[in-house]
């Protein structure tokens, strides 16, 4: 009987606590962590392979703007703290292996620390909600 009371109290406490707001959706597929968020037709995805499932710890940011998952263009990422990154997307992908290391770390740190990022493609800018900061597994 004592156990049931403790269990009931735990359930009440857990259901009464506020839900954590998170715009990032997370999946773990074939050993790789996939994170995805979308706003106003712009999809930002982060692919992390921290356990070298595919031979390297290669990570990448994927961008879809509108209906174009194969975007090859300069994309800007602006964070609320003033940090800005210019990423040359190739077929919708900006990979750690080809990125400037300082820019890559700045971008991942921005994703980990902020609830929004402004994504600029050409003359169009979209603020993308990231939700609560996530502890991404990207190295």
The pLDDT of 90-119, averaged and rounded, is 94
Place of tokens 């190739």: 90
Under 8 Å between Cβ of 75 and 119: yes
pLDDT band, very low/low/confident/very high, at 92 (cuts 50, 70, 90):
very high
pLDDT per residue as tens digits for the range 45-76: 999 988 777 777 679 999 998 878 888 999 99
pLDDT level of residue 83 (50, 70, 90 thresholds) = very high
Task: Record the pTM.
Answer: 0.77
pLDDT digits (tens, 9 = 90+) for 4-43: 333 233 333 333 333 434 589 999 988 899 999 999 899 9
- Sheet with 25-29, strands from edge to edge, namely 25-29, 32-39, 42-48, 60-65, 93-95
Q: Name the pLDDT band for 137 (thresholds 50, 70, 90).
A: confident
DSSP string for 60-114: EEEEEETTBTT--SEEEEE-TTS-EEEEE-BTTEEETTTS-HHHHHHHHHHHHH-
Q: How many CB atoms lie within 10 A of CB 6?
A: 10
Find the mean pLDDT for residues 112-134. 93
For residue 8, the model assigns a pLDDT of: 31
Q: If 0-12 CB within 10 Å is exposed, 13-18 middle and 19+ buried, where does residue 32 land? A: middle
């Amino acid at each position: 009987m004592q156990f049931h009371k403790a269990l009931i109290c735990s359930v009440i406490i857990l259901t009464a606590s506020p839900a954590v707001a998170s715009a990032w959706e997370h999946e773990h597929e074939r050993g790789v962590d996939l994170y995805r968020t979308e706003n106003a037709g712009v999809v930002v995805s982060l692919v992390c392979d921290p356990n070298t499932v595919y031979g390297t710890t290669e990570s990448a940011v994927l961008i879809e703007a509108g209906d174009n998952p194969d975007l090859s263009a300069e994309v800007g990422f602006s964070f609320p703290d003033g940090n800005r990154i210019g990423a040359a997307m190739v077929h919708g992908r900006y990979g750690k292996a080809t990125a400037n290391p300082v820019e890559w770390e700045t971008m991942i740190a921005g994703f980990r620390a902020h609830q929004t990022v402004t994504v600029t493609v050409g003359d169009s800018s979209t603020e993308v909600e990231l939700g609560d900061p996530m502890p991404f597994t990207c190295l």
